[in-house]
Amino acid sequence: MGLKIWMGDKLVDESLAKVSVFDHGLLYGDGVFEGIRVYSGKIFELGAHLKRLYESAKVIRLEISMGIDAMGDAVRATVAANNISEGYIRLIVTRGVGDLGLNPFSCQRSGVIIIADSIQLYPEEFYEKGMRVVSASTMRCHPMSLPPQVKSLNYLNNILAKIEAIDSGVPEAIMYNHDGFVAEASGDNVFIVRDGILFTPPSQAGSLEGITRKVVMRIARANGIEVIEENLTRFDLYVADEFFLTGTAAEVIGVVGIDGMVIGDGKPGSMTKMLREKFFECAHGRGE
Ligand code: PMP
């Protein structure tokens, strides 16, 4: 049996969950989305995801056809209808059906789609042994273009970096901004450890304000680790003692090599492992 998908204002069978060819989400990548985890039957950080969704929508002048509380109810209803206790939710808001022109205001009503399913982004081996990444030559969007804090349906900037990673035989690429500072990975936030201190670039360097990032920073501070948000360069990544990425789908994953360089002793570091464990404890509701 197929999934139950939220389409517009109700749940429908997967076979009936169809999008119009005139939806500007398809025609122009015009819309916003969220990826959300379900752990132990609880929707992880739902409030933070909804806040980011509505902020992203505001910035692109997209009026979501339902209020934030109704959206929360719709997400919960979709999770319940599919009996998901460990899974992944994709919440999408498109600009809606319009004409073939660019004008977003030709679209009468935004389209809301909620899918609740499962996900495994990387093989288990990557989590145990760590993964290698490359520096992308594709720069992260300038903040005066599409702001990187907007989680929009247009991911081509990140996809071009992802292609560079795949071409180099690794799963992820690190993106830098127009000033040469580390922005983020193509789908995750970046952290490094140096001399026992945890560093991550500020979101103004060109990254999404990651919710996993925020939780990891909170856990680190609660465990007495100093956390500093500051601009990082390629040098900082190369000489890091530890390096890891965070994201809803990737969770916390160690990076053990970049651009052919080995990080630390070539294995995920102790702070990475500790934060990964504590992240799961927190996600599964056993406290921070
Ligand atoms: N940066 C980008 C570009 C992303 O797409 C994501 C989400 N996959 C993240 C960072 C991590 O954000 P979060 O922890 O909220 O999933």
Q: Which domains does the chain have, with CATH numbers?
A: 4-117 (3.30.470.10), 124-285 (3.20.10.10)
The yes-or-no verdict on residue 268 having pLDDT over 90 is yes
The yes-or-no verdict on residue 287 having pLDDT over 60 is no
The yes-or-no verdict on residue 274 having pLDDT over 90 is yes
The yes-or-no verdict on residue 248 having pLDDT over 60 is yes
Determine the distance from the C-alpha atom of residue 269 to the mean position of all C-alpha atoms in its chain, rounded to a whole number.
Answer: 23
CA of 18: how far to CAs of 13, 37, 77, 111, in Å? 10, 24, 19, 11
| Token couple for 170 | 């690794």
- The pTM score is 0.97
- Residue 236: CB within 6 Å of ligand 1? no
Task: Give the torsion sign (CA, 196, 253, 247, 207).
Answer: positive
* Percentage of the chain exceeding pLDDT 70: 99
User: Is the CB of residue 34 less than 8 Å from the CB of residue 88?
Assistant: no
For the segment 210-224, the average pLDDT, to the nearest whole number, is 98
Q: Which of 232, 227, 144, 134 is nearest to 183 (CA)?
A: 232
- Residue 187: CB within 6 Å of ligand 1? yes
Please report how the helices 270-283 and 211-222 are oriented relative to each other, as an axis angle in degrees rounded to 10: 110
Q: 88 forms bridges with which residues in the sheet?
A: 37, 117
User: Of residues 4, 151, 162, 278, which has the active-site annotation?
Assistant: 151
For residue 213, which atom of ligand 1 is closest to its CA?
14
Tell me how far apart the alpha carbons of residues 81 and 123 are, in angstroms, rounded to a whole number.
Answer: 28
Q: What pLDDT shows up at residue 189?
A: 98
Of 53, 188, 253, which is best to mutate to test ligand 1, by the most ligand atoms within 8 angstroms of its C-beta? 188
The yes-or-no verdict on residue 145 having pLDDT over 80 is yes
Task: Give the tens place of pLDDT for each residue, 61-115.
Answer: 999 999 999 999 999 999 999 999 999 999 999 999 999 999 999 999 999 999 9
Q: Torsion-angle region of residue 124: left (phi > 0), alpha (psi -120 to 50) or beta?
A: alpha
Q: What pLDDT shows up at residue 120?
A: 82
Beta strands in 8-130 (DSSP E): 10-13, 31-39, 42-43, 87-94, 111-117
Tell me how far apart the alpha carbons of residues 275 and 202 are, in angstroms, rounded to a whole number.
Answer: 19
58 catalytic? Reply is no
> What average pLDDT does the chain have?
96
Helices (H), 193-244: 211-222, 234-238
Residue whose CA lies nearest to ligand 1 atom number 4: 187
Task: Give the tens place of pLDDT for each residue, 30-63.
Answer: 999 999 999 999 999 999 999 999 999 999 999 9
| Cβ partners under 8 Å of residue 1, min gap 6 | none
Q: What pLDDT shows up at residue 1?
A: 67
Q: Which of 144, 148, 145, 143 is nearest to 161 (CA)?
A: 148
Model confidence at 288, pLDDT cuts 50, 70, 90, reads low
For residue 48, which atom of ligand 1 is closest to its CA?
15
Q: What pLDDT shows up at residue 286?
A: 66
